[in-house]
Amino acid sequence: MLKGSIVALITPFNDDLTIDTEGVKELVNWHIDNATDAILVCGTTGESATLTHQEHRELIKLVINEVNGRVPVIAGCGSNSTQEAIGLVQYAKDTGADYALVITPYYNKPTQSGLYKHFKFIADNVDIPIILYNVPGRTGVNILPETVAKLYKDCTNIIGIKEASGSVDQAANLMSIVDDNFLLYSGCDEIVTPILSLGGVGVISVLANIMPKATHDMVFSYLEGQVSQSKKIQLELYKLIKYLFVETNPIPAKTALGLMKKIKSSSMRLPLCEMSSEGLDKFKAVLQEYKLIK
């Protein structure tokens, strides 16, 4: 069972906005050394929307090769085109990814029937464990618990969901209509412990980019029965988590990693851009408060 802290890995760029391949490798090894339980490559936080199709594939392969079986690798493989998504999922399987994370199609806003058919078509055509990804704030569409439960029932390789609607109610509704083998991952760092209390098994995390060990500890404290310790970490990190979303993700996370000297450049591809000067000053103060920078 895939559980724990799964980092939604940022994609470091060089100053000329090419992918910093050595920087990717360094981050992968830093995460493995600091208790990150699995690595998601080419997710939203990895700026997948501005990667070319070739870059997307090369980045998946790079991370799989660098990890070399030490932890599971999840490949972000979603698209608003079903055929394009299948191509990415098939590539992830062929390259050795352990799981595929498949986002709800964005922009075209399918109905629940369209969502069901989209995910079922992918699952029927590529035999790899699939984690659905629900993030209506990014995609404009919310996959409802009943649709998820039907997909889980009808597709043996759809194993769970990254639930990033921010709704504990929706997560509770979903968990009330699936069996105990369904894997629920929090997609929101500020409600990890509440999601675990509903039967969740981990988090696919932005926070883990800058505090991997603490994120791991928050999850495993709960899973090992230390509920009060998990709650304590969750509340201690709450302020930092909120600041990681004060501007569009991954702007703050990449900015923090640059300030922490974990990447050589905080560059992002347009339309994402650097933090505002006012936001940066406040963010630096929070990073200092958490002793992440001096």
Note the pLDDT tens digit of each residue in 133-190.
999 999 999 999 999 999 999 999 999 999 999 999 999 999 999 999 999 999 999 9
For residue 19, what is the DSSP state?
A: B
User: Cα(44)–Cα(66) distance, rounded to whole angstroms?
Assistant: 21
Query: Which pLDDT band, with edges at 50, 70 and 90, does 12 fall under?
Result: very high
User: Cα(269)–Cα(288) distance, rounded to whole angstroms?
Assistant: 27
Q: Which of 162, 185, 243, 262 is catalytic?
A: 162
CA–CA distance from 25 to each of 31, 35, 38, 134 (Å)?
Answer: 10, 16, 14, 28
Mean per-residue pLDDT for 116-134? 98
How many Å is the Cα radius of gyration of the chain? 18
Torsions phi, psi for 26 (to 5 deg)? -65, -40
Nearest to 197 by CA among 217, 168, 174, 173: 168
Sorted by sequence, the CB contacts under 8 Å of residue 220 that are 6+ apart come out as 4
The reported pLDDT for the residue numbered 38 is: 98
For residue 58, is pLDDT > 90?
yes
The reported pLDDT for the residue numbered 1 is: 84
> Chain centroid to CA 167: how far?
17
User: Cα(98)–Cα(128) distance, rounded to whole angstroms?
Assistant: 7
162 catalytic? Reply is yes
User: Cα(87)–Cα(129) distance, rounded to whole angstroms?
Assistant: 15
Mean of per-residue pLDDT scores for the chain = 97
Q: Angle at CA 227, nearest 5°, toward 196 and 45?
A: 40
Nearest to 85 by CA among 143, 35, 130, 36: 130
Residue appearing with tokens 């408060």:
289
| 227-271 pLDDT tens trace | 999 999 999 999 999 999 999 999 999 999 999 999 999 999 999
For the domain made up of 4-224, the CATH class stated in words is alpha beta
> Chain centroid to CA 84: how far?
20
Enter the tokens of residue 173.
């509704």
The reported pLDDT for the residue numbered 254 is: 97
For residue 81, is pLDDT > 90?
yes
For residue 83, is pLDDT > 90?
yes
The reported pLDDT for the residue numbered 78 is: 82
222 catalytic? Reply is no
Mean per-residue pLDDT for 50-61? 96
Q: Which of 91, 99, 116, 133 is catalytic?
A: 133
